[in-house]
Structure 1
Amino acid sequence: MDSARSDRCTIRVESAPYDTITHATREALNRSMTERGWINASRPDSPAYDSALLVATELVVNACRHADGPEEVRLIWEGTDLTIEVDDTAPGRPCPRAVAERGETGGFGMAIIADLSEDWGVRVAPEGRGKTVYARLACREGRATVAA
């Protein structure tokens, strides 16, 4: 396994229901981590996989709930770091909600992303048409390190 290699997996999205989009994202993530030998395809039970799966799902679901869904999902490997990027057309910037603002219908997603990621943020599109929300996870030795 070459941990220094860098590559990308892009998932193009065309007006699909969010369960289809989240499934496609999970499948791509599973393939990518299996190819690196960080999970066993028949038993993907590593902390790195669990964290990456949850973060990717939350980013996609947020784009579905607060925009017209994601336009593109990218999985970018830089050595042992995985960056998950989700593009959408909504102008708003996500931020973790305070505990008192979370409820039965949501509000936990960005807090989960912030807790499981080394870094996360938003890049607004140059023309002001949408944004990219990203999260970077450190997947060292097959384990995601959780930010303190």
Structure 2
Amino acid sequence: MPETEPWEYTLYIPNDVRAVTVSRRTLRLILTMHGLINLADTAELLATELVANAVRHTKGPAALRVRWAGGVLRIGAWDADPEPPEPPQELAKLGEAEEGRGLALVRACSDLWGWQPLTRNGNRGKYVWCELTSAA
């Protein structure tokens, strides 16, 4: 049974491709421990895309943030690049494209997504997030 009390976790990660796997596994553990395993597969996909973009397209540190409140799971990635993300294309239009599918997947698989400029520990950057609503 999902918890009704709000909670939040932040995982600070280095600019290292291995951080994507660490983030995905950490997210699954968090969701399992809070009774939200029904959201784990989709949440892992979304977190993978957000963290992979943060690691691939920036040079600095990043962070994965996971928050549960009011039946909504928010997954976000902070990175040190203040430039807005490229607007996602329609997933169907991407066909067999090797790149550019990340935010298209996020838009297609989440209930809501967005981004905002953000400053953390004196570093400018951005926070790209998405939300999943629990059907429990």
**TM-score normalised to structure 2 length:** 0.83
Whole-angstrom distance in 1 between the partners of 2:81 and 2:96: 23
Match of 1:97, as an amino acid?
Q
The answer to whether the 8 A contact 1:58-1:110 is kept is: yes
Q: State the secondary structure of the residue aligned to 2:42.
A: helix
Whole-angstrom distance in 1 between the partners of 2:42 and 2:102: 13
Give the stretch that moved more between structures: 69-78 or 126-135. 126-135
The answer to whether the 8 A contact 1:11-1:24 is kept is: no
Q: 1:2: Cα distance to partner?
A: 5.4
State, as a whole percentage, how many aligned pairs show the same letter. Answer: 31
Q: 1:119: Cα distance to partner?
A: 1.2
Structure 1: give runs of 5+ residues left out of the alignment: 40-45, 142-148
CA RMSD of aligned residues (A): 2.3
Whole-angstrom distance in 1 between the partners of 2:6 and 2:78: 21
Match of 1:35 in 2: 33
Are residue 81 (structure 1) and residue 72 (structure 2) matched? yes
Match of 2:106 in 1: 113
The answer to whether the 8 A contact 2:94-2:101 is kept is: no
Q: 1:96: Cα distance to partner?
A: 0.2
Match of 2:103, as an amino acid?
M
**TM-score normalised to structure 1 length:** 0.77
CA, structure 1 residues 90+122, in 2 after alignment: closer, same or farther (shift >3 Å)? Answer: same
The answer to whether the 8 A contact 1:70-1:86 is kept is: no
Aligned length: 132
The answer to whether the 8 A contact 1:85-1:134 is kept is: yes
Whole-angstrom distance in 2 between the partners of 1:116 and 1:5: 25
Match of 1:9 in 2: 9
The C-alpha deviation readout for 1:3-48, integer Å capped at 9, x for no partner, is 3211111101134x22x21122112211111112233xxxxxx4x2
Match of 2:33, as an amino acid?
E
Aligned pairs for 1:1-148 within 5 A: 1=1, 3-15=3-15, 17-18=16-17, 20-39=18-37, 46=38, 48-68=39-59, 70-94=61-85, 95-98=87-90, 104-125=97-118, 129-141=124-136
Q: 1:72: Cα distance to partner?
A: 1.2
Q: 1:69: Cα distance to partner?
A: 5.5
